[in-house]
Amino acid sequence: MVGSSHEGMHRVFQKDPGLVTRTCQQILHIPFPEPREFAVLNADLTEIEPVERRVDTLLRADTDQGTYLLVIEAQGKRDDSKRGSWAYYLSYLYAKYGWEPVLIVVTQSSATARWAARPIRLGLPGWHSLTVRPLVLSPDNVPVITDEKEAARDVALAVFSAMTHGRGTGAAAILEPLAAALETVEPETAVVFAELVEACLVDAQAQEIWRNLMAPVNYFFKNPVAEKVRDEGREEGREEERAAMVLRILEWRGIAVSEAVRERVTGCADLGLLETWAQRAVHASAAEELFVGSGPVGEALT
Protein backbone atom coordinates (compact mmCIF):
# COMPACT_ATOMS: atom_id res chain seq x y z
CA MET A 1 0.00 0.00 0.00
CA VAL A 2 1.39 3.35 -1.05
CA GLY A 3 0.51 5.76 1.73
CA SER A 4 1.38 9.19 0.29
CA SER A 5 2.13 11.11 -2.86
CA HIS A 6 5.67 11.35 -1.69
CA GLU A 7 5.96 7.57 -1.77
CA GLY A 8 4.20 7.24 -5.07
CA MET A 9 6.20 9.87 -6.87
CA HIS A 10 9.43 7.97 -6.45
CA ARG A 11 8.28 4.34 -6.18
CA VAL A 12 6.95 4.41 -9.70
CA PHE A 13 10.51 4.39 -10.85
CA GLN A 14 11.11 1.22 -8.89
CA LYS A 15 8.26 -0.41 -10.72
CA ASP A 16 9.54 0.65 -14.12
CA PRO A 17 13.15 1.77 -13.95
CA GLY A 18 13.12 2.51 -17.67
CA LEU A 19 10.87 5.43 -16.86
CA VAL A 20 13.98 7.29 -15.71
CA THR A 21 15.44 7.09 -19.20
CA ARG A 22 12.29 8.09 -20.96
CA THR A 23 11.44 11.06 -18.78
CA CYS A 24 14.96 12.39 -19.10
CA GLN A 25 15.02 12.00 -22.87
CA GLN A 26 11.47 13.03 -23.73
CA ILE A 27 10.60 15.59 -21.07
CA LEU A 28 13.86 17.05 -19.83
CA HIS A 29 15.58 16.60 -23.20
CA ILE A 30 18.70 15.32 -21.51
CA PRO A 31 20.66 12.75 -23.52
CA PHE A 32 20.56 10.01 -20.90
CA PRO A 33 22.60 7.03 -22.17
CA GLU A 34 20.62 3.85 -22.63
CA PRO A 35 21.22 1.54 -19.63
CA ARG A 36 22.11 -2.06 -20.16
CA GLU A 37 20.21 -2.99 -16.98
CA PHE A 38 18.76 -1.53 -13.81
CA ALA A 39 19.08 -2.65 -10.22
CA VAL A 40 17.00 -1.37 -7.34
CA LEU A 41 19.35 -0.80 -4.40
CA ASN A 42 18.74 -0.33 -0.70
CA ALA A 43 17.79 3.31 -0.31
CA ASP A 44 18.70 3.42 3.37
CA LEU A 45 21.90 5.43 3.62
CA THR A 46 22.13 5.11 7.40
CA GLU A 47 25.46 3.68 8.47
CA ILE A 48 24.73 1.08 11.13
CA GLU A 49 28.37 0.73 12.14
CA PRO A 50 30.16 3.98 13.03
CA VAL A 51 32.31 5.17 10.15
CA GLU A 52 34.77 7.94 10.81
CA ARG A 53 34.46 10.76 8.31
CA ARG A 54 36.71 13.63 9.26
CA VAL A 55 37.85 16.68 7.35
CA ASP A 56 41.26 18.11 8.07
CA THR A 57 40.05 21.52 9.26
CA LEU A 58 36.53 22.93 9.44
CA LEU A 59 35.98 26.62 10.03
CA ARG A 60 32.85 28.72 10.25
CA ALA A 61 33.05 32.14 8.62
CA ASP A 62 30.35 34.67 9.43
CA THR A 63 30.09 37.46 6.86
CA ASP A 64 27.68 40.23 5.97
CA GLN A 65 26.50 38.08 3.08
CA GLY A 66 25.95 35.00 5.22
CA THR A 67 27.72 32.17 7.03
CA TYR A 68 30.08 29.79 5.26
CA LEU A 69 31.65 26.52 6.30
CA LEU A 70 35.25 26.30 5.12
CA VAL A 71 36.38 22.73 4.58
CA ILE A 72 40.17 22.76 4.36
CA GLU A 73 41.84 19.61 3.08
CA ALA A 74 45.59 19.10 2.88
CA GLN A 75 46.39 16.81 -0.04
CA GLY A 76 49.79 15.24 -0.55
CA LYS A 77 49.08 13.29 -3.70
CA ARG A 78 46.31 12.31 -6.08
CA ASP A 79 43.61 10.20 -4.43
CA ASP A 80 40.60 9.48 -6.59
CA SER A 81 38.59 8.29 -3.58
CA LYS A 82 38.36 11.96 -2.63
CA ARG A 83 35.86 12.47 -5.44
CA GLY A 84 33.29 10.73 -3.31
CA SER A 85 34.55 11.92 0.06
CA TRP A 86 34.60 15.62 -0.79
CA ALA A 87 31.14 15.50 -2.31
CA TYR A 88 29.90 13.70 0.81
CA TYR A 89 31.52 16.23 3.15
CA LEU A 90 29.89 19.20 1.44
CA SER A 91 26.47 17.58 1.14
CA TYR A 92 26.51 16.40 4.74
CA LEU A 93 27.58 19.76 6.12
CA TYR A 94 24.95 21.62 4.12
CA ALA A 95 22.25 19.23 5.28
CA LYS A 96 23.37 19.46 8.91
CA TYR A 97 23.98 23.19 9.25
CA GLY A 98 22.20 24.80 6.31
CA TRP A 99 25.24 26.97 5.62
CA GLU A 100 27.09 27.09 2.32
CA PRO A 101 30.16 24.83 2.39
CA VAL A 102 33.36 25.82 0.58
CA LEU A 103 36.09 23.27 -0.16
CA ILE A 104 39.66 24.51 -0.07
CA VAL A 105 42.49 22.12 -0.96
CA VAL A 106 46.06 22.99 0.01
CA THR A 107 49.03 21.14 -1.45
CA GLN A 108 52.78 21.41 -1.92
CA SER A 109 52.58 19.64 -5.28
CA SER A 110 51.76 21.30 -8.59
CA ALA A 111 50.69 17.98 -10.08
CA THR A 112 48.36 17.33 -7.16
CA ALA A 113 47.00 20.85 -7.51
CA ARG A 114 46.11 20.28 -11.16
CA TRP A 115 44.31 17.07 -10.22
CA ALA A 116 42.48 18.60 -7.26
CA ALA A 117 41.31 21.63 -9.26
CA ARG A 118 39.35 19.47 -11.69
CA PRO A 119 35.63 19.80 -11.01
CA ILE A 120 33.95 16.73 -9.58
CA ARG A 121 30.77 16.26 -11.61
CA LEU A 122 28.25 13.67 -10.53
CA GLY A 123 25.31 12.85 -12.75
CA LEU A 124 24.65 12.81 -16.45
CA PRO A 125 26.98 14.24 -19.10
CA GLY A 126 25.80 17.78 -19.72
CA TRP A 127 23.43 17.73 -16.73
CA HIS A 128 25.17 17.29 -13.42
CA SER A 129 23.22 16.60 -10.26
CA LEU A 130 26.15 17.74 -8.15
CA THR A 131 29.29 19.64 -9.05
CA VAL A 132 32.15 20.15 -6.61
CA ARG A 133 34.70 22.79 -7.57
CA PRO A 134 37.54 22.91 -5.03
CA LEU A 135 39.54 26.05 -4.45
CA VAL A 136 43.19 25.04 -4.62
CA LEU A 137 46.22 26.70 -3.01
CA SER A 138 49.56 25.40 -4.26
CA PRO A 139 53.05 26.47 -5.34
CA ASP A 140 51.46 27.59 -8.60
CA ASN A 141 49.49 30.43 -7.03
CA VAL A 142 50.86 31.05 -3.51
CA PRO A 143 53.44 33.87 -3.73
CA VAL A 144 57.06 33.41 -2.69
CA ILE A 145 57.54 36.03 0.04
CA THR A 146 61.20 37.00 0.25
CA ASP A 147 60.86 40.59 1.46
CA GLU A 148 61.16 41.10 5.21
CA LYS A 149 58.69 44.01 5.34
CA GLU A 150 56.16 42.09 3.31
CA ALA A 151 56.56 39.08 5.57
CA ALA A 152 56.06 41.23 8.67
CA ARG A 153 52.83 42.71 7.25
CA ASP A 154 51.23 39.26 7.19
CA VAL A 155 53.29 36.77 9.14
CA ALA A 156 50.79 33.94 8.77
CA LEU A 157 50.79 34.32 4.99
CA ALA A 158 54.58 34.32 4.99
CA VAL A 159 54.50 31.13 7.04
CA PHE A 160 52.05 29.57 4.61
CA SER A 161 54.28 30.64 1.73
CA ALA A 162 57.23 28.81 3.25
CA MET A 163 55.10 25.76 3.96
CA THR A 164 53.57 25.63 0.48
CA HIS A 165 56.94 25.95 -1.24
CA GLY A 166 58.62 23.65 1.29
CA ARG A 167 59.28 20.87 -1.22
CA GLY A 168 61.25 23.06 -3.61
CA THR A 169 64.73 24.48 -3.43
CA GLY A 170 63.27 27.98 -3.61
CA ALA A 171 62.02 27.66 -0.03
CA ALA A 172 65.44 28.67 1.30
CA ALA A 173 65.00 32.24 0.04
CA ILE A 174 61.87 32.68 2.15
CA LEU A 175 63.31 31.59 5.46
CA GLU A 176 65.53 34.47 6.59
CA PRO A 177 62.88 37.17 6.00
CA LEU A 178 60.36 34.92 7.71
CA ALA A 179 62.62 34.41 10.74
CA ALA A 180 62.86 38.19 11.12
CA ALA A 181 59.10 38.55 10.76
CA LEU A 182 58.49 36.00 13.52
CA GLU A 183 60.13 38.39 15.95
CA THR A 184 57.13 40.72 15.53
CA VAL A 185 54.56 38.24 16.90
CA GLU A 186 53.95 36.75 20.33
CA PRO A 187 56.69 34.26 21.27
CA GLU A 188 54.29 31.37 21.75
CA THR A 189 52.76 32.05 18.33
CA ALA A 190 56.22 32.25 16.80
CA VAL A 191 57.06 28.81 18.18
CA VAL A 192 53.95 27.25 16.63
CA PHE A 193 54.66 28.90 13.28
CA ALA A 194 58.29 27.77 13.43
CA GLU A 195 57.29 24.17 14.03
CA LEU A 196 54.73 24.23 11.21
CA VAL A 197 57.35 25.50 8.78
CA GLU A 198 59.89 22.92 9.90
CA ALA A 199 57.38 20.14 9.37
CA CYS A 200 56.83 21.21 5.76
CA LEU A 201 60.44 21.68 4.65
CA VAL A 202 61.72 18.82 2.52
CA ASP A 203 64.81 20.36 0.94
CA ALA A 204 67.86 19.47 3.07
CA GLN A 205 69.50 22.89 2.66
CA ALA A 206 66.30 24.66 3.67
CA GLN A 207 65.95 22.40 6.71
CA GLU A 208 69.47 23.26 7.88
CA ILE A 209 68.98 26.98 7.32
CA TRP A 210 65.71 26.96 9.25
CA ARG A 211 67.10 25.01 12.19
CA ASN A 212 69.99 27.47 12.50
CA LEU A 213 67.65 30.46 12.27
CA MET A 214 65.31 28.97 14.86
CA ALA A 215 67.95 27.74 17.31
CA PRO A 216 67.26 30.55 19.82
CA VAL A 217 63.50 30.07 19.53
CA ASN A 218 63.76 26.32 19.93
CA TYR A 219 65.95 26.68 23.00
CA PHE A 220 63.90 29.36 24.72
CA PHE A 221 60.60 27.57 24.32
CA LYS A 222 61.30 23.84 23.97
CA ASN A 223 64.13 23.27 26.45
CA PRO A 224 62.59 22.36 29.84
CA VAL A 225 65.01 24.53 31.83
CA ALA A 226 64.44 27.55 29.59
CA GLU A 227 60.70 26.97 29.70
CA LYS A 228 60.74 26.98 33.49
CA VAL A 229 62.77 30.17 33.51
CA ARG A 230 60.41 31.78 31.01
CA ASP A 231 57.37 30.94 33.11
CA GLU A 232 59.01 32.21 36.26
CA GLY A 233 60.04 35.35 34.43
CA ARG A 234 56.41 36.30 34.06
CA GLU A 235 56.34 37.00 37.79
CA GLU A 236 58.38 39.56 39.68
CA GLY A 237 62.11 39.65 39.09
CA ARG A 238 61.95 39.16 35.32
CA GLU A 239 65.34 40.79 34.88
CA GLU A 240 66.93 38.42 37.40
CA GLU A 241 65.39 35.37 35.77
CA ARG A 242 66.35 36.49 32.27
CA ALA A 243 69.90 37.00 33.46
CA ALA A 244 69.81 33.51 34.96
CA MET A 245 68.65 32.18 31.60
CA VAL A 246 71.65 33.72 29.86
CA LEU A 247 74.03 32.09 32.32
CA ARG A 248 72.25 28.75 32.19
CA ILE A 249 72.43 28.63 28.40
CA LEU A 250 76.19 29.18 28.58
CA GLU A 251 76.57 26.56 31.31
CA TRP A 252 74.37 24.09 29.43
CA ARG A 253 76.61 24.52 26.39
CA GLY A 254 79.74 23.97 28.50
CA ILE A 255 81.09 27.50 28.08
CA ALA A 256 83.16 28.85 30.98
CA VAL A 257 81.71 31.95 32.64
CA SER A 258 84.14 34.28 34.38
CA GLU A 259 83.16 36.25 37.47
CA ALA A 260 83.31 39.47 35.45
CA VAL A 261 80.83 38.12 32.89
CA ARG A 262 78.55 36.81 35.62
CA GLU A 263 78.49 40.17 37.42
CA ARG A 264 77.78 42.05 34.22
CA VAL A 265 74.88 39.79 33.28
CA THR A 266 73.30 39.65 36.73
CA GLY A 267 73.70 43.41 37.15
CA CYS A 268 71.83 44.26 33.91
CA ALA A 269 68.27 45.61 34.33
CA ASP A 270 67.52 45.98 30.59
CA LEU A 271 65.24 43.13 29.48
CA GLY A 272 65.86 43.86 25.80
CA LEU A 273 69.62 43.71 26.25
CA LEU A 274 69.35 40.53 28.30
CA GLU A 275 67.30 38.94 25.52
CA THR A 276 69.98 39.90 23.00
CA TRP A 277 72.62 38.31 25.19
CA ALA A 278 70.48 35.18 25.56
CA GLN A 279 70.25 34.85 21.78
CA ARG A 280 73.99 35.29 21.44
CA ALA A 281 74.58 32.70 24.16
CA VAL A 282 73.12 30.04 21.89
CA HIS A 283 75.89 30.51 19.31
CA ALA A 284 78.78 32.10 21.23
CA SER A 285 82.04 30.22 21.48
CA ALA A 286 83.14 32.29 24.50
CA ALA A 287 81.11 34.06 27.16
CA GLU A 288 82.67 37.42 26.33
CA GLU A 289 81.08 37.32 22.88
CA LEU A 290 77.77 38.21 24.51
CA PHE A 291 78.81 41.84 24.76
CA VAL A 292 80.47 42.43 21.39
CA GLY A 293 78.70 45.13 19.41
CA SER A 294 76.31 46.03 22.21
CA GLY A 295 77.36 49.66 22.35
CA PRO A 296 79.04 51.59 25.18
CA VAL A 297 77.44 49.53 27.93
CA GLY A 298 78.25 46.27 26.19
CA GLU A 299 81.80 46.59 25.00
CA ALA A 300 83.73 43.35 24.96
CA LEU A 301 85.47 42.43 28.18
CA THR A 302 89.18 42.03 28.02
For 199-222, what is each residue's pLDDT tens digit?
A: 888 878 788 888 888 876 654 555
Strands 57-63 and 66-74: antiparallel
pTM of the model: 0.64
For 247-278, what is each residue's pLDDT tens digit?
A: 877 876 678 899 999 999 988 888 788 878 87
Q: Would you state the pLDDT for residue 204?
A: 80
Averaged pLDDT, 94-116: 92
Residue 24: other Cβ atoms inside 10 A: 16
Q: Would you state the pLDDT for residue 217?
A: 60
The three-state DSSP-derived secondary structure of the chain is: CCCCHHHHHHHHHHHCCHHHHHHHHHCCCCCCCCCCCCCCCCCCCCCCCCCCCCCCEEEEEEECCEEEEEEEEECCCCCCCHHHHHHHHHHHHHHHHCCEEEEEEECCCHHHHHHHCCCEEEEECCEEEEEECCEEECCCCCCCCCCHHHHHHCHHHHHHHHHHCCCCHHHHHHHHHHHHHHCCCCHHHHHHHHHHHHHHCCCHHHHHHHHHHCHHHHHHHHCHHHHHHHHHHCCCCHHHHHHHHHHHHHHHCCCCCCHHHHHHHHCCCCHHHHHHHHHHHHHCCCHHHHHCCCCHHHCCCC
The three-state DSSP-derived secondary structure of 151-198 is: HHHCHHHHHHHHHHCCCCHHHHHHHHHHHHHHCCCCHHHHHHHHHHHH
Q: Would you state the pLDDT for residue 41?
A: 64
pLDDT tops 90 at residue 78: yes
Q: Would you state the pLDDT for residue 224?
A: 52
Q: Would you state the pLDDT for residue 245?
A: 76
Average pLDDT, the chain: 79
Q: Would you state the pLDDT for residue 46?
A: 58
For 270-292, what is each residue's pLDDT tens digit?
A: 878 887 887 788 778 888 988 88
Q: Would you state the pLDDT for residue 301?
A: 36
Residue predicted with more confidence, 297 or 108: 108
Dist. CA 32–CA 30, nearest whole Å? 6
pLDDT tops 50 at residue 300: no
Averaged pLDDT, 234-258: 74
Q: Would you state the pLDDT for residue 256?
A: 86
Which of 9-23, 46-60, 225-239 has the least mean pLDDT? 225-239
Q: Would you state the pLDDT for residue 80?
A: 92
Averaged pLDDT, 17-39: 76
